[in-house]
Structure 1
Amino acid sequence: MAAAEGYAGQLIGVVTLLGAAVVAVPLFKRLGLGSVLGYLAAGLAIGPFGLALVTNPQAIMHLAELGVVMFLFIIGLEMKPSHLWSLRRQIFGLGSLQVVVSGVLLTLVGVAGYSVPWPVAFVCAMGFVLTSTAIVMQVLAERGDVNAPRGQRIVSILLLEDLLIVPLLAIVAFLAPPGAAQAAADPLWQRLGVAALALGALVVAGLWLLNPLFRILARAGAREVMTAAALLVVLGAALLMELGGLSMAMGAFVAGVLLSESSFRHQLEADIEPFRGLLLGLFFLAVGMSLNLSVVAANGVNIATGVIALMLTKALCIYAVARAAGSNSADAADRATLMAQGGEFAFVLYAAAQSQHVISDNTNAIMTAIVVLSMALTPLVVALHKRLGRAQAPSLDGVEAPHDLRGNVLIIGFGRVGQIASQAPLARGARLSVIDLDTEVITTAARYLNFKIYYGDGARPEVLHAAGAHHADVIMVCVDDPKAATRIAENVRRECPSARLVVRAFDRQHALALVKIDVDTVVRETFDAALRMGHEAVRAMGASDIEAQDITDDVRRRDAERFALEIAGKPFAGRALVLGNIDHIEPPPPKGDAAEPAAARAQPH
């Protein structure tokens, strides 16, 4: 009976955690404050200093730290060794510069502003220098910036900071007073040797053991065993690094990098992702629960000024370093607001410093509260910066604006559709003029193409003329924004009436709108792909090629008839060819012929 009650109590705790997250996170996201702040607020509400529905946040924190571990493993899967090597200057150059500058100035804040001894100020400062990987990576993931250049710079700095925990713990042992716990610790050379052996063992296993293991499991066909193996890799790598005195998150990251070129990479990511999301949310809940409101109340002034002073100083350091390293003002400000908080590794550093009498129990409690509050404030600061800050101007480094181009085919928008659509005109010997608004697309494509892409907004008439629209025989609008495509088509039709205009349509309604403004050819972006899928499905059911093609043609014809019915009676010039319906739309008949079915006027081909 007692055991059943114990299980019921544990189940109540789990239900409470899940319920708090389910209620708070959608609410905060709806308010535009982000999921991280939702988790933190939910943790504070149900924790021992809120409603006390959960009373042991530290136990949850130890489990939830695995969410950070799994997040780093997934990031590692996205970084091939060659890509990681290309980031070495950012990791050890930019990262080291930011850590050193921030560490020195934050230490001075402690010594000059709070009159604490320099060893205490140094430990407190370096704990705050270690940015929260969990919060920053979550925000980057929500914004889709993890693989963007500015996101990669932030990831590089985070990697260096994760590496720092090992030398910082060694420095704490060195700063400990005589007779403290460090006397029983292993010598530094021994700890470094153990760490090197653990890292070497992980590299050996990743290079020569893991891929054969996954091949054997894949042949066995046991789906749940593959999931278990994925968890084994992540947790085993984390455990190995922990035993070696290194960061668990770093171990998982290294394991991910070693598997980044494996044919099982996508399967591993799919298996780990649900656990990662759940445990990372649990981590943020535990951080919110660990905020000791009694400590905050007793040291309110010191904590409030400490949060402001440390976050502001760190943000200014990050901004200055980013600008010195060549980032534009918008990128530097974004990095400063995103990385101005302390992180989860600060708790590890402060606990070690407390146990070795480098800092007092009260200092540990105050600094822990400062770090937690800084983590809680970060989503608010990021949201405020996004709302009040100026829109980020795109970097035009290495990018030119168009100037009187004279290609006979002008392509506006050079994403996935534009790149594929350009191949046929090129094969026929066309001279292309290409403009795009995304500078990253321009600089990336420039590495692989033998023609130049220019920066420009096709919705502006002066840009169209500079891009050579008045010389072009064909203008292709391939942008993925329906409203922008419509505006561009209107301008092209008004400014360049003799050019043939081919426009990518988002859906049926967008195609109808484009037909109304006299676009020559409208291509519905998903129609042909969907027809092809249906065609292959019919063949897979046993139909012959001829039968499958007849069925596909019939579907295409009926769609053309429906499209013609929707067009009938609406004012348009009548020369649009709508690809996706593959039908010429003839002008509406005179009113005397209004009884003629619109479908009879559609000429499929």
Structure 2
Amino acid sequence: MSAESSTELVKVVALLGAAVVAVPLFRRLGLGSVLGYFVAGLAIGPFGFGWFAEPQAILHVAELGVVMFLFVIGLEMRPSHLWSLRNEIFGLGTAQIVTCAVVLTGIAMLFGYRPQVAFIAAAGFVLTSTAVVMQLLAERGDVALPSGQKIVSILLFEDLLIVPLLALVAWMAPTHGVVPEGSRWLSIAIGVGAIVGLVVVGRYLLNPLFRILAESKAREVMTAAALLVVLGAALLMQLGGLSMAMGAFLAGVLLSESTFRHQIEADIEPFRGILLGLFFLSVGMALDLSVVAANWKLIALLVPAMMLAKALCIYAVARVMGSDHRQALDRGVLMAQGGEFAFVLFAAAASAGVIDAKVNANLTAVVVLSMALTPLCMLVYRRLVKEGLVSAEGVEAADGLTGSVLVIGFGRFGQVSSQSLLARDVDVTIIDNDIAMIRSAADFGFKIYYGDGTRLDVLRASGAETARAIAVCVNDRAAADRIVELVAHEFPQAKLLVRSYDREHSLSLIHAGVDFQIRETFESAVEFGRAALLQLGAEEDEADLVAREIRRRDAERFELEIAGGGLKAGVGMLYGNTPASPKPTPTPFTPPRRESRTLNPDAVAGAGPDGEAR
């Protein structure tokens, strides 16, 4: 092996070693993985131990981590869902960006920058770091929540802005007048053509391609094809003068309704994680400490001024657009930093002569420091706002579990429904993502593992591949639908029982092919009405007859609705009976005979940390 090859290998080992040492240490200290990557990059970079002399070269490669991150996000964004977010993307996004741009331009001018330079500084700082924010959201498990979806929408709109901003920089250049008008229209045509080409390929060619590759049974070829799609889409957008990240996101959206999307996501995930970590390392390396030292007064004042101004603008816009105080404050703290696209914008402005090299270095340092300070700001924010935040220390995550039945969600509904299984010593694995609930359940003798059931890797770690039945007891319709989709596609061997939110949800679950569904309030409401009749003096037989009639009529109406939707099913399917049963007549409940053995009295009695059905 040549000396040059050995040197390159040493650099790779140094990158991996820095990440392996710093990230677990910083997470252990409660500072988060992002800050760990930044500090590790600073330590091994040109202004630390000096193991790397050209961090920008690594940064260009590491940007593929952001590209893959947006591709994975796109896989979760069906076109219909993306369309439903149009108000957040274009309404909320526009309001936030315009407000922040105006205020930050004023802040930069107060620091002595000319209007053009101040606008470039503000525009770069307005473009929030997708990588930092998405990583922090993922660590908190908030990406799929409504508040997280609003943040994702704003980030997508900001990524779209890099194209017009670069065009604006070219127009602001001192020599912009010599650029032929035809060249500009040609550039626009090339960009539009790249988007149309990607849509056509994604719409008509990707699914047949993956179908052919799946039939070959070669897993490594599927992985290569997934990488080809991501990198090919990014390259096409780059050649068209657009954002690589937006190309990857668009490719993900086009594959979001593909039957292969879960497999593609699983193939991309390891590369995404490694490259995203490399991106954070390279950003840490890019912090020029000599620039910071030479201009420390300016930078020390500009960083907090820009971050505070941006946070206040975001908070104000969020409140005006209907968010509550807690969500607005969280969004303001989380997004109060510049982003990776600022480096591109500043470099373009420097090349065009709009800003000089010194301003470029100062503004780059400001953005890097803001990105590094964001995890610390979030840590302080979470310490100050303790309400609703619970430590995960001592809570065991789902990993390598097995069991006959997997129960997802241990709220009041999950507690009661699991009692029959626990009383008969069925091998049950229970997961929940509510840490307070897990701790409370432990006080009653229940072993609950931490895990988000909407994630495929968590389902695998929880034993879904070997489970005979999977019970979805979560109190969230969107989460239940996501779990049903994953289980139906990845774990067809398991019987799927789902808690339904309402009548409409039950219909959609039946269309999705679940084995059993029940509306969370229907049976309790029928029993409640039966008890009311008894309290009014009705005979027990009469009350039972009325309850059976209500169930029968509801089942008949339900079957008509199913048939009207194009799905043929027997009424018995609605209640878990065989489809051949024309009209199920529930028999009075008879408690199972208890055997003479020692059981957890709380489990048999139905007691639990929350009492009854949630």
Length-normalised TM-score, structure 1: 0.68
What is the identity percentage for the equivalent residue pairs of Structure 1 and Structure 2?
60
CA–CA distance in structure 1, aligned partners of residues 463 and 354 of structure 2:
67
CA–CA distance in structure 1, aligned partners of residues 183 and 269 of structure 2:
39
Out of 28, 35, 38, the residue aligned to residue 36 of structure 2 is 38
Compared with structure 1, are the counterparts of its residues 138 and 99 closer, same or farther at alpha carbon in structure 2 (3 Å cutoff)? same
CA–CA distance in structure 2, aligned partners of residues 15 and 374 of structure 1:
28
- Deviation of the 1:385 alpha carbon: 0.4
- Deviation of the 1:188 alpha carbon: 2.8
1:353 maps to what in 2?
Answer: 349
The answer as to 2:152 corresponding to 1:155 is yes
1:242 maps to what in 2?
Answer: 238
1:13 maps to what in 2?
Answer: 11
1:135 maps to what in 2?
Answer: 132
Alignment-mate amino acid for residue 129 of structure 2: S
Write the deviation string for residues 501-558 of structure 1: whole angstroms up to 9, x where unpaired: xxx94469xxxxxxxxxxxxxxxxx99998958xxxxxx9xxxxxxxxxxxxxxxxxx
Compared with structure 1, are the counterparts of its residues 182 and 307 closer, same or farther at alpha carbon in structure 2 (3 Å cutoff)? farther
CA–CA distance in structure 2, aligned partners of residues 388 and 340 of structure 1:
17
CA–CA distance in structure 1, aligned partners of residues 49 and 316 of structure 2:
42
Pairs within 5 Å for 1:30-429: 30-111=28-109, 113-177=110-174, 179=175, 183=179, 187-391=183-387, 415=409
**Structure 1 spans left out of the alignment, 5+ residues:** 394-412, 425-437, 442-478, 490-503, 509-525, 534-539, 541-559, 580-605
Compared with structure 1, are the counterparts of its residues 348 and 531 closer, same or farther at alpha carbon in structure 2 (3 Å cutoff)? closer
- Deviation of the 1:180 alpha carbon: 5.9
**Superposition CA RMSD, Å:** 3.3
CA–CA distance in structure 2, aligned partners of residues 486 and 329 of structure 1:
33
Aligned with 1:333: secondary structure?
helix
- Deviation of the 1:53 alpha carbon: 1.3
**8 A Cα contact 1:176 1:182, kept in partner:** no
Length-normalised TM-score, structure 2: 0.67
Q: Which has the larger radius of gyration?
A: 1
Write the deviation string for residues 329-363 of structure 1: whole angstroms up to 9, x where unpaired: 11111101110000000000011110010111110
Alignment-mate amino acid for residue 297 of structure 1: A
CA–CA distance in structure 2, aligned partners of residues 381 and 277 of structure 1:
23
CA–CA distance in structure 2, aligned partners of residues 166 and 308 of structure 1:
28
Tell me whether 260-269 or 183-192 shows the greater mean CA deviation.
183-192
CA–CA distance in structure 2, aligned partners of residues 167 and 279 of structure 1:
27
Alignment-mate amino acid for residue 100 of structure 2: S
Tell me whether 336-345 or 185-194 shows the greater mean CA deviation.
185-194
- Deviation of the 1:115 alpha carbon: 2.3
CA–CA distance in structure 2, aligned partners of residues 16 and 175 of structure 1:
42
CA–CA distance in structure 1, aligned partners of residues 161 and 280 of structure 2:
22
CA–CA distance in structure 2, aligned partners of residues 221 and 235 of structure 1:
23
CA–CA distance in structure 1, aligned partners of residues 323 and 92 of structure 2:
11
Aligned with 1:205: secondary structure?
helix
Aligned with 2:2: secondary structure?
helix
- Deviation of the 1:4 alpha carbon: 0.9
CA–CA distance in structure 1, aligned partners of residues 365 and 350 of structure 2:
15
CA–CA distance in structure 2, aligned partners of residues 575 and 325 of structure 1:
47
**8 A Cα contact 1:181 1:355, kept in partner:** no
- Deviation of the 1:182 alpha carbon: 6.9
- Deviation of the 1:162 alpha carbon: 0.1
**Structure 2 spans left out of the alignment, 5+ residues:** 390-406, 419-431, 450-461, 470-492, 494-594, 607-614
- Deviation of the 1:100 alpha carbon: 0.1
The answer as to 2:437 corresponding to 1:481 is yes
**8 A Cα contact 1:182 1:356, kept in partner:** no
CA–CA distance in structure 2, aligned partners of residues 236 and 303 of structure 1:
39
**8 A Cα contact 1:181 1:356, kept in partner:** no
Aligned with 1:263: secondary structure?
coil
Compared with structure 1, are the counterparts of its residues 422 and 86 closer, same or farther at alpha carbon in structure 2 (3 Å cutoff)? farther
Alignment-mate amino acid for residue 7 of structure 1: S
CA–CA distance in structure 2, aligned partners of residues 64 and 138 of structure 1:
15
**8 A Cα contact 1:480 1:506, kept in partner:** no
Write the deviation string for residues 21-65 of structure 1: whole angstroms up to 9, x where unpaired: 000000000010000000000000000001101222111101100
CA–CA distance in structure 1, aligned partners of residues 465 and 193 of structure 2:
52
